[in-house]
Structures are given as C-alpha cells and as structure tokens.
Amino acid sequence: MNDEAMTAPTPASSPGPDVSPPRTSPEEVARLSQPRRSAKEWIGIIAVAIGMIVIVVYCLLPFYWMVVSSLRLPSMGRSTDFLPRPVSFENFAGVFSAQNNFGRALLNSVIVSTATTLLTLVLGIIASYALARLRFALKGLVLAVIISTSMFPGVIMLVPLLKMFTGRYVWFPFDWLNTYQALILPSLSFALPLCVWNLTAFFRQLPVELEQAAMVDGCTPGQAFRKVILPLAAPGVFTTAIITFIAVWNEFMIALTFGSATEMNTATVAISKFTGVTGFDTPYGTIMAAGVIVTVPLVIVVLIFQRRIVAGLTAGGVK
C-alpha cells in the first residue's frame, strides 16, 4: 500500500452539513424558563385588573364629569351628555366676575393654607423631635392625648371659639372675627396632631448615633439637628406639609364660621355662595368651573411630588 492510499481521507472524516442546534436568544431562554401560570393564577390576575379599573373609574368619573360640565354652555348646565357640545369657556369667565369675588377668595385660601402649613411644620417638628428623643414620665400619655385631640368633631369647637374670637371672654378681649388669625389658628387643631404623630414615628427611625457622631465632630445639639437630622427627615416633613396644605385648602366649616365677610371668604366658601342670573337659580356650570380651578393645582402638585410623598409615607417601613 502506497503513501497516498494511507493519507487519503476516509468517508467518515469528510465534512458534512452543519447539524448543530440553533442558538436561542436570552429573551427566549428567559421566557421558556418561566413557569406557566395555572388557571387559578390567571383568574386572580384578571380579578385584580378588573378591581383596579373599577377603582380608577370610580375615582376619576366625578372629576371627569366636573370638567365636562364646566366646558358646557351656561344654559346647558344640567345636560347629561358625556361630551360638551359645543365646548365653551363662558363658565370660567363667569367664575371671576365681579359679583363672585373669586380672585380674592383664592388669595385668601393661599394665605391661610400656606401660613397654617408653616406653623404646623415649625411647631410639629419641635414637638415630635422632643417626643422622639427626650425621656420623661408619661411620654406615651402625652402622645396619646395629642393624637386624641384630632378625633373630636370639629363642630364642637365652633361655639367656644366663636365666643372667644368675638371678645366674649375676659381673658381674651380681642375681636378676631373675619381676620386671618381666626382662620389659621383653628385649623391647627386638626393639622398639628397629625403632624406630631407622623413625624414622631419618623424621627424614631433615625438612629441617635448620627447626632452623637455630629456632636463628636464639633456640632452643637441644635446644629446636629439642623444639619444632619432635618435633611434626613425631609421626606416625612414634605409629606406632612402636602397633607396639611390639602386639608386646609379644602376646609369649609371653620372658614364659613370665622370668615363670614365677603372679603375674607376662602375659595370653598365663595363657591358655596355662587348665584345664578336671577339670584335664585343654581349656576351648575360656574360651580363646576370653580371646582376645576381649585382642584387642578392640587392634582398637579401631587403628580409632580408623588415620589417624595410615597417615600415619606413608606419611610421606616423596612429596616
């Protein structure tokens, strides 16, 4: 046998067609590796989706109806169409008419809500930090009394406060009726306990070692609180400020009782006093337009700062 025959390739070693299995993409591998959902799981997913849709529709339908009603002609205020035909902005122009004085009412709402929120934060931060850090007798009872004051109906405070703000008491000889302080101070009765309760729980989640480390580095207790603790508590403070501002902005009973004069009406009170063309009919379109003007800024603020609000509400939930 010659050398050529010995080196000739055998049929078994000859190259054939490529029979390697096709490559699978990572996405396909991930999809195939996931376990298949059972019929019971699919029923649960569909039920949750339907429940969410029902809740969203239930919450948004009144707001949608308010917007649609505000865009109708004033003569079509009680129409039941789901779309305004034709679209009109006459109701928004009527909101700021001279007889409604709604511009001044909006300014009053901004002043009262902002001042109440600032006072609530200043007093609430100091009180909640003291309750979270200081050790004294009956601290739990003090916190319980503070939060219990917000559980009383607000209507029971109206008569005593009305007598006090009209100078009926010897120990309070000031006539505060139809003043900003008469609108701001009663609002603290429900805003301040909520602020103290929320921020006390928030400050407890912050380790005291942070303040001790700051004081070791040369900070005074006040500087340690201002430069270390307060920035860390910003999500909780911001959330409390938003909740307080919205609650005071929507407040009606206190504003109606202590701000009865037209020039001291807040937005909610001014809307309740809207009159129609004859003075006896109900201007549905104008009221709806005013409701849109009052509501939309709050919705925009919440949408812009929703991450901070959620962070403040959930802070301390997971250690």
18 domain residue, yes or no: no
At 288, the amino acid letter reads M
Cα 46 vs. chain centroid, distance in angstroms? 29
Q: Is the dihedral of CA 20, 21, 23, 26 positive or negative?
A: negative
pLDDT of 281 = 64
Residue 156 has pLDDT above 70, yes or no: yes
pLDDT of 104 = 92
Find out whether 115 and 180 touch, Cβ atoms under 8 Å: yes
Find out whether 71 and 84 touch, Cβ atoms under 8 Å: yes
242 with 118, same domain: the answer is yes
85 with 186, same domain: the answer is no
Q: Under DSSP, is residue 66 helix (H, G, I), strand (E, B) or coil?
A: helix
Residue 21 has pLDDT above 60, yes or no: no
76 with 174, same domain: the answer is no
Q: Under DSSP, is residue 175 helix (H, G, I), strand (E, B) or coil?
A: strand
Compute the CA torsion angle 299, 302, 306, 310 (nearest 10 deg).
Answer: -120
Q: pLDDT tens-digit profile of 68-77?
A: 988 888 877 6
Count other C-beta atoms under 10 Å from residue 136's C-beta. 8
123 with 82, same domain: the answer is no
**How many angstroms separate the CA atoms of 82 and 86, rounded?**
12
136 domain residue, yes or no: yes
Residue 313 has pLDDT above 60, yes or no: yes
171 with 78, same domain: the answer is no
Find out whether 311 and 235 touch, Cβ atoms under 8 Å: yes
Residue 50 has pLDDT above 50, yes or no: yes
123 with 196, same domain: the answer is yes
Q: What is the rounded average pLDDT of the residues 1-11?
A: 50
Q: pLDDT tens-digit profile of 220-247?
A: 888 888 888 888 888 888 888 988 999 8
Q: What is the rounded average pLDDT of the residues 201-227?
A: 86
Q: At what angle do helices 102-133 and 188-205 cross, to 10 degrees?
A: 40
Q: What is the rounded average pLDDT of the residues 283-294?
A: 89
Please tell me the total count of domains within the chain.
Answer: 2
Integer CA distances (angstroms), 308 to 128, 197, 311, 314, in order: 20, 19, 5, 10
141 domain residue, yes or no: yes
Residue 181 has pLDDT above 80, yes or no: yes
45 with 190, same domain: the answer is no
CATH number of residue 112's parent domain? 1.10.3720.10
Pick the more confident residue, 197 or 308: 197
Which structural domain range is residue 230 located in?
Answer: 101-273
Q: pLDDT tens-digit profile of 26-42?
A: 666 666 666 677 888 88
pLDDT of 1 = 46
Pick the more confident residue, 31 or 319: 31
124 with 190, same domain: the answer is yes
**How many angstroms separate the CA atoms of 284 and 268, rounded?**
15
71 with 156, same domain: the answer is no
Q: What is the rounded average pLDDT of the residues 144-152?
A: 83
Q: At what angle do helices 284-304 and 102-133 cross, to 10 degrees?
A: 40
What proportion of the chain, given as a percentage, has pLDDT over 90?
21
Residue 277 has pLDDT above 70, yes or no: no
pTM of the model: 0.78
Question: Which of 28, 61, 91 delimits the end of a domain?
Answer: 91
